[in-house]
Structure 1
Amino acid sequence: MDHDTRRARSMQQPLMKECFRWYGPNDPVPLSYIKQTGATHVFSALHHVPYGDVWAQDDIHQYKQLIESVNLRWDVVESVPVHEDIKTRTGQYQKYIDRYKQTLSHLAAEGIKVVIYNFMPVLDWVRTDLRHKLPDGSRCLYFSIAKFATFDLYMLKRPDAAASYTKAEIEEATRIWKEMNVTTRKQFERDMIDIFPGCSRGLTIHDVRSMLKLYQNIGQQKLKEHLRLFLQEIAPVAREVNINLAIHPDDPPFSIMGLPRIVSTEEDLHDILMMVDDPVNGLCFCTGSLGARPDNNLHAIVRRFSNRVNAVHLRNVQRLENGDFYEADHLAGSVNLSNIVRELLIEQANRLKHQRNDWQISFRPDHGHTMLDDLSKPDPTNPGYSCIGRMRGLAELRGLQHGLAQNLTTINTK
């Protein structure tokens, strides 16, 4: 090997850590399949633990051993849920914050490096169609404003809901509602309020209405203040135990059911990072969540905040003119993932240059299409988390990384 070759290899652009989401022993995609995708790590969580309870260290240890039994690694938790009492600063919120601190300490003791969480009120991510058929025959997740209006107006029956929609959207929602029969209405209700992958919270329409009442006097600024107070308590613990926090953007990144959204725009992300200006207070950069909003310039956002990105979800969405969106192929859609991945590789190289222990960024392909043999598998499955579609996404993103890394290495060696 000549000197120039050795020099080029020594300066080769490092790649991000390839990960796959795993929902535990009941996941239809077992660890042995994930190993075959080429992923080396998993994002996972103790989904069987009720929201607000402490994660016992013994349980974390056993879970980690199970993952490592197939030569995979687990150092990113997705997610430790934030109890609604914390978001609303009502009830026993202090007890739940203290439990959150305990969970962080237990995770750190087992080698966990990153904890993802979100601050979305009432429901986590929302889609109106979990089985939208694409022209090639595969299926994807879809969000329709008119169909969500159907849920809001006719199922949830939220007071003043009509003010959230245009006349055309309300007319379309009425048409959709009238065309549904009892069976389809029941399935639609379950899809809307109980699509949490990996677990079933067993929520009812009555539960959602009760939770909405807690937010009657909570607007955007007040919810941001609640997040700030939460971060000011848990960030010191995260710093002490050497865990990086990563807040996930709102999905979708605009108001639903009249609720405030505080992790949806570049300004939101800046506000959150300044609440505790410390690297442990970072982002889970989700290109799909942020990309569903046309006024978000993802390239500019990742360039501005790349040094605070602690985990990454790479997926794509196709935005439609009426505001709807659906999950596109990973390297198609409305988001230029090539620009995003390039910025992340540059950031990762900078971290390595400055000898940061957390230099390697973990990413996972998010929300793959249901395709090929997975189409014949019976429900229930975790929406967006069938194996083959995500494996296709991982393969495409792996190729993208290699191509960009080679190009960056060539530039750096000239």
Structure 2
Amino acid sequence: MNTIQLLHFADLHIGVENYGRLDTATGLHTRLQDFSRCLEFVVNTALECEVDAVLFAGDAYKHAAPNPTHESKFAEQLKRLADAQIPVVMVTGNHDISVSFGKASALNIFHTLGDHRYFFVAERPQLFRIETKHGPFQVACFPWPTRYMLLTKEEYKNLSDVEITRTIEEKCSNRIDKFARELDPELPSVLLAHLAVAGATYSGSERSTIIGQDPVILQSVLKNPAFDYAALGHIHKHQDLNRNGQPPVVYPGSPERIDFGEAEDEKGLCLVSLKKGASSYQFLPTPARKFIKIEIDVRTQDFPTEAIVQKLAACDVRDAVVRVAYTIREEQKDLIDVQRIYAALEPAFLVAGVSPRTEEIRSQRPRIGEDLSLSDALATYLEFKPELQGMKVDLLDYADRLIRELEELTE
């Protein structure tokens, strides 16, 4: 049987417009250009490698109500794949699904208007057989499991949040097991899912997935040998949860950085060689925008500004989003020349903040620029609140949900 070549990517999040500005030459936000550049790289790679199909594991946009410009940027690249007769299989992620029950998902338009030979959109668990030039393969699609799946049914309405989450986890596991039983054992198969998996590591926080309000699926469910590759989305850090084993259980990570929490993560996509019982993949980095955090302690320096400038000169900040934090003694405040520091950062794409931290005053107020979004301002504020670090990821997640709800209500 021939090896089938696939491209797997996820968590594009077009519409995130933090740490950027309006490009007066095009009228577009510079961060939209960043995300579009990475998406174009993904499609160029698919075309250059002549892959048999593309797998998108959810979260195309920042939220489920993208504006026409964001939709156009995503659609024009997918059209290039359809024009090349490359099938695209997509599942909805949590950001693609409206917080208002009954509304269409952000990917529904491809199901409604797309060429059914090339666009396969799963908004519910669904099994597809995909025909390619190197033979057929199967895709068991599992979109993000919403709480609506239970709350609309009378028998679940009195359950607590914890009970609802546990019930969803059980139903998800059972449905994936059912997929495994339904597969044609003669054909190679992929599980394409937007899920949180136990033991996975989140971007930035470097912590294992914890049991919370969102359902978490055990790794053992996804390592079922009936699948030859598990193509995941939802977590932005690239990782293989079954390294050196079969099937590979892979998060490709997001193609572009969202914020400073992802500064150290390499961004990219996965090229997959799909074969019964012997699949492999290659991670390819995308041209993502650099995010650089620079911290320096100058409390022992007689000339603290000079020390900071020398530190910056040793860092390649060209075209990067940069945040600087320096620690000084209280009596050194008058020795800091902020203008010289900003001048040293001139090659940067954007300076997200230059913030002092004093030895005596532990709770230093951060300098938050007017060009920061609400979520970015909150993230910057939390950086200076050590007592909140354990809750930072959850606080930002809840804030993002509230912002999404407000955006949908005002549309």
Q: Same fold (TM over 0.5)?
A: no
TM-score (norm 2): 0.34
More strand by share: 2
**TM-score normalised to structure 1 length:** 0.34
Higher RCO by CA contacts (8 Å cutoff, separation 6 or greater): 1
Please identify which structure carries the higher helix content.
1
